[in-house]
Structure 1
Amino acid sequence: MTDHPKNGSTAAHHVVVIGAGFGGLQTVRSLKGAGVRITLIDQRNHHLFQPLLYQVATTILSPSEIAWPVRDLMEHRHDVTTLLGTVTGIRDGQVLLSEGEAVPYDTLVIATGSRHSYFGNDQWSEFAPGLKSLEDATLIRRRILLAFEHAEREADRARRAAHLTFAIVGGGPTGVELAGIIAELAQKLRPQFRNIDTSASRILLIEAGERLLAAFDPSLSDYAATSLTRRGVELSFGKAVTDCRDDGILLGGEFLPCQTRIWAAGVAASPAADWLGLKGDRAGRVPVQNDLTVEGHPEIFVIGDTATVPAWEGKPVPGVAPAAKQQGSYVAKVIRARHAGQTPPPDFTYRHLGDLATIGKRSAVIQFGKLRLRGQLAWWFWGITHIYFLIGARSRAAVAWNWFWSHVRGRSAVRLITHSARGTDKDHISE
C-alpha cells in the first residue's frame, strides 16, 4: 500500500484525482485551501490543451506550446502530491497502479477522458491513428510530411498518387480542422518540391452521416463544406469505412489506395466502468447521478468524457473541455461542503458555452445560442478564445506569434520529421 503524507497530516481527508486533463486539473485547482490532502495521478506527466492538438499534427505549433508538465503546475500547491502511473483498477477504497502500488482514498474523482473508438475494429488503429495525445500528433505529423517526401522519390505514377492521397475519417470538428489545414499545407509546400506538385494532393474527408459538423446548425455545416471544397478537399457523405489496411481503405465497397489515413470518427471512454465493475453506455461512459457520483458510492465522482449525465436540458452533457471544467468546479464545491459539514450545492447543471470549429486560414464557424458566425470574423473570435484559455503568458505569446507568422508569411513553424524507435512506426526513412 502506498500513501503520500509528505505535506500534511495523514489524518487529513485524502482526495485522489485520476487524470490531469481539463476536469481533473480544474478539480484540483478549485480545492485549493479546502483543507484536504490531494493526490493527482496521470499516466503522462503533462496537461494537454487538446483543442489545439491538430495544429501540432499539421506543423503549425510545437508540442511544448500546448502542453505543460503537471509538476510545474502543482509546484506551489503543497497540498498536492503528483504521481506518474497507470491505473489498472479500483478496489476496497484503493486505486491500483500497474507497478503494484495501491493508493488509498477517502474521496475519489475519476477524470480519465476518452480514447479512440474504431467501432469494434481496433486493429485499424495501426493504420489510421487518431488524435488524442502528443504522441498521436507527432506520429500524424511525421506521416503527413513523409508522404510528400516519399512521393518526391517515387517514379511509379500510381504509388505516387497513393502517397499524395490523405484520407480523414470523420466529419466532426477534428476532421474538418485537419482536412482544411492539410489542404493549405499542400499548397504551401508546392515551391519546395521539384518532382511533384503537392497542390495536386487528394485530401478526402469521409463522413458516414449526411453532413459535416452534425452538432452545428445546418447553415454552418453547409458553409464548412463549401469552404473545404474551395480549398480542394473532396467530401464523401453517406458511406462508411469498412476496412482499413496499410495500403488504403475500403469505402462503400470501393478500395481507395492512400498511404496517410487519420481517424477522427469516434471516441470511447476510458476503462473506468470496468475498474468500478459497472456497465457503461455504448461509448463505455459511466452513468452518474445528478451530483456526479456513482450510485451507491457517494465517495466516488466521475466527470468529463468518462461520465454520462443528462444535465443539459435533459440531454447528455457533450464531451468538450468547458463541460469537464464545469464538472470539476462543481465536484470541488461538493467536496468542500462535505468537508466543512455544510449543505452541498444543488444538482449539477451544464451551461453550454457554444461550439467552435476552424476550417483553415481566415475561416471558421461559431454558434452560441441563436448567434451564428462564419468566415473571418469567426476565425478571429476562435483564435482569441483559444489563446485566452491557454495556460501561462509564454504559451499565449508563442501561439500568437506562430499564428501571426503563418498568417503573414504563409509558413508553418514546426515542419520537422522526427522518428520513433525502429520497429514502432513503418514510416521511418531507411538508413
Structure 2
Amino acid sequence: MRDPLVDETPELSRLYRTLNEVSELLGVRSSIVTLEGHECVSVGEMRICSDFHRKHTASGRACRTCMTGIGTYASSRNSFVFLCPHRLWRVAVPIVLRERHVATLLGPPFFRSEEEQKSGYFLAMAQRYGYPVREYTDALMEVPILPEEEVEQARKSYRVLARLLSYGLTLSHRSAVEARDRIKVEERLKRSEDILRTAFEHTGTAMAVVMDDGFLVHANTRFGEILGEDPRLLKGRRWTSFVDPDRQQVLDEFHRCRKEDLASAPDQYEVVLRRVDGKEVEVLLTVGKISERPLYLLSLLDISERRKMEVLRKEALDQIDRNFAQLASLNDRIRNPLSVIVGLAEIGDNEFSEQVIRHAREIDALVTDLDQCWLESGVVRRFLKKHYDE
C-alpha cells in the first residue's frame, strides 16, 4: 500500500521546515506519523524513543504496531491522549487534507506523575531488552512530568499545530496538483503539436504558413518542391516574389479585400508561379486565415498537367468536329459520282453493265452503313461536348 502523505506531499524537507518553525514558535516537540505507522518527519525527538524503544528489534516492533493503530484510531477524533506500549503518555491529533485523514501529529512522551517515572517497570524492561541501565535511566529522567492542566494545554497546542499543518499540506497539495495538471496539459499540447506537424509535413499537399505581410514562416517539403527550393531556405522570403508579375496586381487586390473584409475576398484562385529555375507552374491557390493571429495558411495544387490535358482534350474535340464535317460531305461526294456510274451502266445494257451496277450497289450499302455510324457517333460527340468541352 502506498504512503498517502509521502505520495501527495513529496517535499518533506519543506514540511520539516514548517514543523520546525511552528514548533519553535509554540515551544513544543512533535513528529508526523503516516497511516501505516511510518514516522516521516520529527522535530526534537526524545532519546528514550530514538535511542532505546524504537532502536531495539523487539521493542521497536511494539512501537510500529502502536503507531499503525494510532493512525486508525485518530481518524475519528480531533485529539486524544494515549498510553504507548512502553507506558509513556503521548498526545495525538489527526492531520487532515481535503477532509481526509492523511497522517497523525504526535507530541513527545510524558509522565502524568512522579510515581510513573520511578516505576520498577522501566528497570525490568531495560534488563529484558539489554539497555544500558544508567544511560536508559538518564534518558528516562528527560521525559517531563505534566499535570492535568498542562496535558490539556498541550492538547490545545497540538490541535493548533495540526490545523496549521493541514492548511499548509492543502496548499502544497493544491500546488502539486496544479503543477501535475499543467505538465499533463503541456504533454497533450506537445503530442497535438507533433501530430499537426507530421500532418503538415506529410499530407501530400503543398502547404505553408505566411505572415500578414506575405513573409513565409514555415513551408513543407511539397511546397518547396513546387517552387524548386529547399523549404528551409524559403523562411523569411515573400511568397509573392514567386508570383508572375502579370498576376501580382490581382493578388494585391485580393489581399487588400481580405484585410478589409475576409468574406469579400475569394479563398481559392489560379495563379502562375515562377520557380527558382525560371520555369513557370500553374497552381490552384487556397488561402485560409488562422484565427486570432496575423497568419495565413496557403496550400498549392499543381494544375499544370491538368491544363495540358485540357488543351489536348480541346484539340481532340476540334478534330472530331472536323472529321464529322468531312464525313457528312463524304457521303454526298461518293453517292453523286456513283449515281452517274449506275446511269451510264444502265444505258450500256450488257453483261459488264450488270457487274458495274452490282458493285455500285455494294458501295452504296457501305455508304449507308457510314451514315448510320455517323448518326451513332453524333450521340457520342454530343456527350463529349456536353461533359468535357467546358
TM-score, structure 2 length as denominator? 0.19
From the CA coordinates, give the structure whose radius of gyration is larger: 2
Of Structure 1 and Structure 2, the greater strand share is in 1
Higher helix share: 2
